[in-house]
Chains A and B, each alone.
Chain A
Amino acid sequence: MSDLLKNIIRFALFLAVQVFILNRIPPLHRFVAPYLYFLFILWLPFRTPRLAMTLIGFLFGLTLDMFTKTPGLHAAACTLIAYLRHFLISLMMPKEKMEISYAEPSATSMGWMQYSIYVLVLTFLHHGYLVFLEWMEFGGFLYFLGKVLATTGISLLLIGVTELLFVRKSRYRTNMA
């Protein structure tokens, strides 16, 4: 399956899961909102051009905004992590080798430690920015802090479960292409 087709399917699937399952779970507490959809951006191939990456992040967030009726909220957060992803990867990755041999970020392609840090930092940034924007309209500082921490925790849990359930075969790319 080509990378393009695979990512188009992921785009729809992540949105469907977020809109029809996670957004409909009865809330446990006002701090807790389950978010998983942005994993799509973390899983995009290494070779995506940076410009396209920012644009994809924007469109992806905006499509979710259509369902949650908050134009711009998720789009802004997604654009941020899509843009910063590049810097984080080049910081974490052992130079030269991996970028050629593997298609997309995963525990096997980056190593467990690097991948965990990569996920943790981007998740934290995403939620921090998202809740910050929400907080500008209402809510106190405790709300901001509590929600960022609780939501990040829940998201990391969800991402962990997803990684365990859906093992991605990280193809070893030869230099043929």
Chain B
Amino acid sequence: MRNVFLFIQRYFNLIFFIVIQVVALTMFFRFNKFHESVFGSFSNEFSGRINKRYSSVETYFTLKQENESLRAQNARLLNQLKQDFSWPDSSIDFVRDTVRIDTLEQFRKFLYLPAKVISNAVNSQQNYLMLHRGSNQGVTNNMAVVGPDGVVGTVVNVSANMSLVMSMLHRQSKIVAVLKKGSGFGEVTWDGRDPRYVLLTKIPKTVPANKGDTVVTSQFSDRYPPGHIIGYVEAVAEDQVTSTYNLKVRTATNFYSLQHAFVVKNLQQEEMDALQKSLRKTP
């Protein structure tokens, strides 16, 4: 027994070092679970508070680009207004139906919640953004995040007033996408090389793909509203092994100067989840 104590006394530094290493490595390799429970909420609020101060200064430097992209978005939205379209009236008799079958809210699927970006990163292999909007303001996990120019990422963790977004520039990010003109149906991932480009794979070779084609979110995604621009095809390469393309896509969102984003809430998510769960139960 005495020898055990002597041993511990002699190698206490080494033992302490090993214990701390194990703690650190456990944190690292159990990132997702650990992050949600212990580290997440505390570190979000802590680094969020400091990042908020910093970003209130930094915002001024990119105001111009930010204004331009918001103005472009406004123009795009204005062009979709109903009163801007006119067509020859071909109806014979117009009867107003008094039975209320639809209010806008009842069938609304996606709701956009504006949020300010308070920290952002592009030069790591796992990039995260932080938004100044959290669970108190209606953000939950797995919500999609889009910017004024295009897709940004997915919410992975929320605290009371902040939320953490896995950027599209993350090695584990995966977004269902289609080519806007063709019916191809693929997956957008990031290879970690260049923050300006992402990869679009699994688009079959039967669909024509050219440089400059627009890549948008698919309607089959349960998080992303369809038709949001992900990027534009920069280079087309055919995969030698499978019958699919490997497309290099320039991101529509400029991750270097992103200041505002919208968290997208899917109001029909619960119903969709319940339906899928019932499928899983029946063998």
> Which chain B residues lie closer than 8 Å to A70 at the CB level?
28, 31, 124, 126
Q: Which residues of B contact A69 (CB under 8 A)?
A: 35, 43, 126, 128, 164
Q: Is the CB of A54 within 8 A of B123?
A: no
In the complex, per-residue mask of B23-41: 1 if CB is within 8 Å of any chain A CB, else 0: 1111111010011000100
Please provide the chain A residues from 71 to 90 with a CB less than 8 Å away from any CB of chain B in the complex: 71-73, 75-76, 79-80, 83
Chain B 118-137, CB within 8 Å of chain A: the 1/0 string?
01011111101000000000
Q: Give CA–CA (A146, B143) in the complex, Å.
A: 36
Which B residues are in CB contact (< 8 Å) with A68?
Answer: 121, 124
Number of A residues with CB within 8 Å of any CB on chain B: 34
A71 touches which of B27, B50, B121, B123 (Cβ 8 Å): B27
- Min Cβ gap A130→B in Å is 11
A54 and B25 contact, CB distance less than 8 A: no
**Chain B contacts with A in 26-66, Cβ cutoff 8 A:** 26-29, 31, 34-35, 39, 43, 46-47, 50-51, 54
Secondary structure type dominating chain A contacts: helix
* A62 contacts across to B, CB distance below 8 A: 24
The count of A-to-B residue pairs whose CB atoms sit within 8 angstroms is: 91
Bound CA–CA A9/B239 (angstroms): 54
Q: Which residues of B contact A76 (CB under 8 A)?
A: 21, 24-25, 28
Query: Digit string of A18-43 for contact with B (CB within 8 Å is 1, else 0)?
Result: 00100111110010010000000000
A67 contacts partner chain B, Cβ-Cβ < 8 Å: yes
Instruction: Name the one of A25, A79, A138 contacting B171, with C-beta atoms under 8 angstroms.
Output: A138
Residue B90 interfacial (CB < 8 Å)? no
Q: Is A61 an interface residue (CB 8 A)?
A: yes
Partner among B28, B124, B192 whose Cβ is within 8 Å of the Cβ of A138: B192
Nearest CB in chain A: distance from B45 CB, A = 10
Residues of A near B256 (CB, < 8 A) are 26
Chain B residues whose C-beta falls within 8 Å of the C-beta of A66 in the assembled complex: 39, 43, 46-47
**B27 contact set on A, CB distance < 8 A:** 71-72, 75
A49 to chain B, nearest CB (A): 9
Query: Which of B9-17, B206-214, B243-251 is found at the contact surface with chain A?
Result: B9-17
Asked if A134 CB lies within 8 Å of chain B CBs, one says yes
Does A144 touch B at the CB level, under 8 Å? no
Would A61 and B24 be within 8 Å (CB), given that A27-B123, A68-B124, A69-B128 are in contact?
A: yes
**A27 in contact with B122 (CB, 8 Å):** yes
What separation, in Å, do the CA atoms of A22 and B254 have in the docked complex?
Answer: 20
Q: Is B238 an interface residue (CB 8 A)?
A: no
In the assembled complex, B68 has its CB within 8 A of some CB on chain A: no
In the complex, A5 has a CB within 8 A of chain B: no
Whether A27 contacts B28 in the complex (CB less than 8 A), given A66-B47, A71-B39, comes out as no
3 nearest A-B residue pairs (beta carbon)? A72-B27, A72-B28, A76-B24
Q: Which residues of B contact A (CB under 8 A)?
A: 12-13, 16-17, 20-21, 23-29, 31, 34-35, 39, 43, 46-47, 50-51, 54, 119, 121-126, 128, 164, 171, 192-195, 256
Residues of A within 8 A of B (CB): 20, 23-27, 30, 33, 50-51, 54-55, 58, 61-62, 65-73, 75-76, 79-80, 83, 133-134, 137-139
